[in-house]
Amino acid sequence: MNMFTKSIFWSTLVAFLFFYMVPWGFYEATAVCFEPYVLIDVERNPMYLGWLAVGVLILSYAFVRLFQRWSGGDYSNKNGFVFGFWMALFGAVSMRFIRYSTSEIAKAEFYILDGIYWIAMYVVGGFLIALISRKTS
């Protein structure tokens, strides 16, 4: 598998747009809801949007590459959903438990709600990547 195929390029672009824009909108819209659960606000203001874009681009590329290898060329919606779910358990939900147990930044409710949100994000992201990979392969 080449590092940069048409499928990888378009899937990475869609993943980047999804993972860059949706969380931003979500956290802006839910800031008031999450506020009571945050003990120490560690948000950078203003954010370094360029570095954020670099990080999200790396995440998006890795997400696509892992999905395409893991799926073995079967870019079905089900595989995208399952892949996104496993990535959420691996990268998001497990880290919420680790962060809660090692820091005093937020209450447990914040980490639970945030973990549920990231499960949804990765599942939808997996579905999108499967769809774009299937259409561009």
State pLDDT tens for residues 47-84. 899 999 999 999 999 999 999 999 999 999 999 999 99
Q: Does residue 43 have a pLDDT over 90?
A: no
Q: What domain count does the chain have?
A: 1
Nearest one of 84, 92, 96 to 122, comparing CA atoms: 84
- Show the domain range for 29: 6-136
* Residue 107 backbone dihedrals phi, psi, to 5 degrees: -80, 165
58 found inside a domain: yes
Say what the pLDDT of residue 23 is: 94
pTM: 0.90
- pLDDT tens digit sequence for 20-37: 999 989 998 998 989 999
What is the band of 45 on the pLDDT scale with cuts at 50, 70, 90? confident
Q: CB of 86 within 8 A of CB of 125? A: no
In a domain, 1, yes or no: no
Rounded Cα distance between 53 and 47, Å, is 11
- Any domain includes 73: yes
Eight-state DSSP code of residue 130: H
